[in-house]
């Protein structure tokens, strides 16, 4: 595929090509025989497929497969965990569109998990990977760096400390179990 890059960047509503020469691609639209840009970005004219497209400068953030996201657990059922996606790793912009994600019990860990509530509790903050973005967001935590990054005691709501593969509450001396990320309570800002 031959791709020619235009020498200039474009602003919204700028004429980038004519409909006789190119088809409108991502970030462009056709109006009255002309093709215009929809946002600020770099213009690419695909000579092979005859498509004019735009590379956005500051694109709205939509979750796609293999994206790593941070979520808060909002509901736990035996077969699945429902969570609200709060942020995406490596970006500061908020998520666009669907923010509810589900984590099936079979995708929690590489080991057999009988009940999802053994590994997650409501209000846990987790790091998960998107495995399906459409029609609904499906997540997995079956990797070492994925899982709970912050959890609170079920009884007193104090933050739990890690002790090996378990979590321990200093104030009420209880032990709890989760699918922990490698960097539990030690997440470095990107």
Among 3, 12, 136, 144, binds another protein (CB under 8 A): 12
d(CA 122, CA 82) in angstroms, rounded, equals: 9
d(CA 76, CA 74) in angstroms, rounded, equals: 7
Does 101 contact another protein by CB under 8 A? no
Does 110 contact another protein by CB under 8 A? no
**What are the strands of the beta sheet with 41-46, ordered from one edge?**
3-10, 41-46, 51-56, 23-24
Smallest distance from another protein to CB 40, Å: 5
- Segment interacting with another protein (CB under 8 A) among 60-68, 73-81, 112-120, 156-164: 60-68
Among 19, 40, 82, 87, binds another protein (CB under 8 A): 40
Specify the residue, 31 or 47, whose C-beta has the smaller distance to another protein.
Answer: 31
Residue partners of 29: CB distance under 8 A and separation at least 6 = 35, 36, 38
Specify the residue, 64 or 177, whose C-beta has the smaller distance to another protein.
Answer: 64
Smallest distance from another protein to CB 70, Å: 15
Smallest distance from another protein to CB 85, Å: 10
Does 82 contact another protein by CB under 8 A? no
- Segment interacting with another protein (CB under 8 A) among 91-99, 110-118, 160-168, 171-179: 91-99
> Which residue carries 């005859």 as its tokens?
50
d(CA 166, CA 9) in angstroms, rounded, equals: 53
Question: Where are any strands of DSSP class E within the chain?
Answer: 3-10, 15-18, 23-24, 28-31, 34-37, 41-46, 51-56, 68-76, 80-88, 100-104, 125-132, 137-140, 147-150, 161-163, 166-169, 174-176
Burial label for 149, CB within 10 Å (0-12, 13-18, 19+), is: buried
Residues in the interface with another protein (CB under 8 A) total 37
Cis, bond preceding 135 (omega within 30 deg of 0) = yes
Smallest distance from another protein to CB 10, Å: 7
Smallest distance from another protein to CB 112, Å: 33
What residues line the site for another protein (CB under 8 A)? 7-13, 25-27, 29, 31, 36, 38-42, 53, 55-62, 64-65, 93-99, 134
């Amino acid at each position: 595929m031959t791709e020619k890059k235009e020498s200039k960047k474009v602003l919204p509503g700028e004429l980038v090509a004519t409909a006789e020469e190119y088809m409108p691609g991502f970030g462009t639209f056709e109006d009255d025989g002309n093709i215009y840009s929809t946002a600020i970005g770099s213009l690419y004219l695909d000579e092979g497929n005859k498509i004019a497209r735009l590379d956005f400068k500051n694109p709205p953030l939509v979750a796609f497969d293999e994206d790593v996201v941070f979520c808060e657990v909002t509901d736990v059922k035996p077969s699945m965990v429902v969570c609200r996606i709060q942020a995406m790793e490596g970006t500061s912009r908020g998520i666009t569109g669907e923010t509810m994600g589900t984590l099936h019990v079979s995708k929690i860990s590489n080991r057999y998990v009988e009940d999802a509530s053994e590994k997650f509790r409501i209000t846990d903050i987790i790091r998960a990977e998107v495995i399906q973005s459409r029609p609904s967001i499906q997540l997995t935590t079956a990797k070492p760096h994925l899982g709970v990054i912050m959890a609170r005691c079920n009884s007193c709501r104090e933050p739990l400390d890690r002790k090996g593969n378990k979590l321990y509450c200093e104030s009420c001396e209880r032990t709890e179990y989760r699918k922990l990320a490698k960097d539990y309570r030690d997440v470095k800002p990107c």
